[in-house]
Amino acid sequence: MLAGIAMMPHGNDVLAPKDDETRYLAEVLRSIGEVFRTFDAYVLATPHNVRMSDHLGVIFAKHLVSWLGFAGVELPGEYETDRELARLIYEEARKAGLPVVDINFASLSGEYSRFPLSWGELIPLHFLEKRPLVVVTPARKVSRDTLVRFGEVIAEVVESYPKKVGLIISADHGHAHDPNGPYGYAPESKEYDALIMQLIRENRLGELLNLDEGFIERAKPDSYWQLLIMLGALRNVPMTLRATAYACPTYFGMGAALYLRE
């Protein structure tokens, strides 16, 4: 059963907040962790794991190992893949004609079937109790409709799965808020962030499909593609928005949202 969906940021600032907005964001993330502690497994969509140009990835490696932090912040830990759930998601996505690949490393199973985790996964997981999980990765050159359909497939599979599962959408938003940041300044970053949070709060996520490609490029988010997966999941399993938060303590925006079943 798909029991809940959480959009969670992966910026270091939520680990040690220095301003009121970020502190509140961290509080919401902790509250998500309290809700998700009743869940048996997670599916986590991330932009910072294996990168492919035009395919969707499902990680099959048995052991998921902390490997790559961000800006010197390391979050050690080892997680296990729910390989049965991974297999079902992969097989159903293939049946739906989606460009999905299964990903493993070193060994098909056992001790040496291992795959790295980055800050894109580790920071959201930091707020959650350890559970088996399935890591999935979107690609930016996959069509919008394909990403939405992938979200629908994930929801379909999880709905018939005997475990209580949460879907985690790892997402930071516009990366051009600060002229001194690595991506410079673009007003579209602020506009994008405000729009995303508005669409979430007003239950208008379907309008994501209408966003201009140039606008997205100038805003420099790393959330748009995962949000389309979230849109697809919510289309198949409608949920109620229970909490949101937003902060922009540095050059990129971070948001949280918690959806739960009625």
Identify the band that residue 68 occupies on the pLDDT scale cut at 50, 70 and 90.
confident
Strand, helix or coil at 131? coil
CATH (domain of 25): 3.40.830.10
Query: What does each C-alpha distance from 203 to 28, 35, 154, 158 come to in angstroms?
Result: 19, 21, 20, 22
In a domain, 167, yes or no: no
How many C-alpha atoms does 124 have within 13 Å on its Cβ side? 34
d(CA 173, CA 175): 6
Tally of domains in the chain:
1
pTM exceeds cut of 0.85: yes
> Which residues is 63 bridged to in the sheet?
80, 114
pLDDT in tens, 45-66: 999 999 899 999 999 999 999 9
CB atoms within 10 A of CB 245: 24
CA dist., res. 166 & res. 144, Å (int): 23
Is 7 part of a structural domain of the chain? yes
Residue 122 lies in a domain: yes
In a domain, 73, yes or no: yes
Domain annotation covers residue 154:
yes
Residue 68 lies in a domain: yes
What is the model's pLDDT at position 238? 96
* Domain span at 217: 2-162+172-260
